[in-house]
Amino acid sequence: MEVLGSSLPRCGSSSKGSNERTPSSLIRTSGSSRRSTRAPLSTGTRRWPEPRTCSRPPYLDSLNATASWNASDYAFHLTRRARGLPLWFSLATYGTDAYREAIESVLALTRAAADEISRRPELELIMDPDLSVLLFRRRGWSDDDYESWWRRVLDAQVAFVQPTSWEGEKVARLCFVNPRTTIEHVRAILGTMA
């Protein structure tokens, strides 16, 4: 199978006409052709359409530092859709009590993680958490230390914990959304900063 299109653009690398829709697209399979949205029909220059919507929050600066193609620029969650339906279906399936318990569990974990950070002399909690995000610094670390730390932890498949910027300084950030995350998981992550 040959897929047409070889050069994938990055979010924000727009060129003139980058938001134009390609009228049709093709995938070639052993001499036959069929319609698809995988690659643009092109007889000369092969290029993918620019992403319609981009998401570049500051906490992903480290991930987006390289010029490589980022699949999240083309992700389903960036398209226009009925965003309320997944929440409605979850509420209808699990009920409000399950949501309340999950949220309370995440908030309790956030408070416990803040206490754990405060107990470690090499770490400094920047502010008390309001919801489920913790910002903290590792004393003595530079920007490069944070960069190598998060990549090392990701490569070891411990966690995906990217640093972020706070008042111009690179700091560590933990964001809890999964009610199955435990304080033991948090301790394992914090242990990688020792």
Nearest to 166 by CA among 33, 58, 52: 58
Number of Cβ atoms within 10 Å of the Cβ of 180: 9
Cα–Cα distance measured from residue 194 to residue 175, given in angstroms and rounded to the nearest whole number: 20
134 found inside a domain:
yes
Can you name the residues that pair with 125 across neighbouring β-strands? 136
- Torsion sign (Cα): 79, 84, 90, 92: negative
Take residue 3 and report the two structure tokens written for it. Answer: 């897929």
> pLDDT (tens digit, 9 = 90+) per residue, 40-71?
444 555 555 555 556 566 766 776 677 666 66
Q: Say what the pLDDT of residue 145 is.
A: 93
Is residue 5's pLDDT more than 80? no
83 found inside a domain:
no
| Residue-number span of the structural domain to which 124 is assigned | 102-191
69-83, 142-156, 167-181, range with the lowest pLDDT = 69-83
185 found inside a domain:
yes
17-26, 68-77, 80-89, range with the lowest pLDDT = 17-26
> pLDDT (tens digit, 9 = 90+) per residue, 126-137?
989 989 999 999
1-10, 54-63, 78-87, range with the lowest pLDDT = 1-10
63 found inside a domain:
no
177 found inside a domain:
yes
Structural domain tally of the chain?
Answer: 1
Q: Rounded to two decimals, what is the model's pTM?
A: 0.58
89 found inside a domain:
no
93 found inside a domain:
no
Number of Cβ atoms within 10 Å of the Cβ of 147: 16
DSSP H or E stretch at residue 143? helix 143-155
What CATH number did the domain enclosing 162 receive? 3.90.1150.10
> pLDDT (tens digit, 9 = 90+) per residue, 93-110?
999 999 999 999 999 999
Q: Say what the pLDDT of residue 9 is.
A: 47
Is residue 114's pLDDT more than 90? yes
Top pLDDT among 98 and 12 is at 98
pLDDT-derived band at 8 (thresholds 50, 70, 90) equals very low
125 found inside a domain:
yes
Cα–Cα distance measured from residue 125 to residue 111, given in angstroms and rounded to the nearest whole number: 11
